[in-house]
Amino acid sequence: MLTALACAVAVCAPASAQDMLRGVDLSLPAYSRSDFSREDIVAALNSKSQGAPLDLSGASLNGVDLSGLDLSGVNLRAARLVKTRLAGAKLDGAILDQAWLLEADLTGASLAGAHLFATQMQRARADGADFSRARIAGDLTGASLRGAKFIESNMSADMKNQSMGLMRAVLASAVAEGADFTGADLMSADLRYLHAAGADFSGASLQGADAAGADFTGVKWKGARVQGLDLDSARIDADAAALLKDAKGLRAAPTK
């Protein structure tokens, strides 16, 4: 019944490009109201068949407190979760493609193996969240990602699906101090002005990524692949220059 209701109230927005906010009026009810309460979601979780993921695709759950719930494998494709509280929630393996998580609270949440394609997460709070092994080609511009884990996450550009534009992880102006990107694939990602002091990029691929103006002081680079990484005006440690010799713009990058 919940699935049917979600489908009935869904308001689908075009996902033709990664700048989905362009021309969108966030004051519309679709981005501020909720069709379900926390109690509705808990009841649906308790009544669903064991092993069957909950289908909330297209649902409006703006501002609802879903913190601490086990939403593993949930289908939230194209769902509206603007300012929704998901702190400490378990979203392992969840489908969040084209979902709207603007200013959502994912502090300490687990999204291991989740799928976030064309997901809008601008200004979301995800400090300490676990995105390990997740597929992320969404927009996290201005998000708070302090201490978050992106271990072995695939955040690279989708080179096969150019009809939607260049879909990739966008962490522009995000705060990822102390975050763990060990073994992550950030090929061609948008890292402009990323605040990543003290982060760990060991074994990560940053080939062709744009990190102009980023703060990489105190970063661990061991084994990172940086061919074509744009470091124009980025802040790096002087002793990291040797490990970043294959990057672009290194001479223009200030050193600490």
SS (H, E, C) 157-176: CCCCCHHHCCCCCECCCCEC
- For 174, phi then psi, to 5°, come to -75, 160
Asked if residue 218 lies in contact with residue 238, where contact means CB atoms within 8 angstroms, the answer is no
162-190 pLDDT, tens digit per residue, is: 555 568 999 999 999 999 999 999 999 99
Asked if residue 201 lies in contact with residue 224, where contact means CB atoms within 8 angstroms, the answer is yes
Q: Which amino acid is at 12?
A: C
Asked if residue 95 lies in contact with residue 113, where contact means CB atoms within 8 angstroms, the answer is no
101-149 pLDDT, tens digit per residue, is: 999 999 999 999 999 999 999 999 999 999 999 999 999 999 999 999 9
Q: Which two tokens stand for residue 131?
A: 């995105």
Confidence label for 10 from pLDDT (cuts 50, 70 and 90): very low
Residue 92 reports pLDDT greater than 50 = yes
pTM exceeds cut of 0.85: yes
pLDDT in the model for residue 255 = 76
Residue 19 reports pLDDT greater than 70 = no
Residue 215 reports pLDDT greater than 50 = yes
Give the separation between CA 237 and CA 221, rounded to whole angstroms. 11
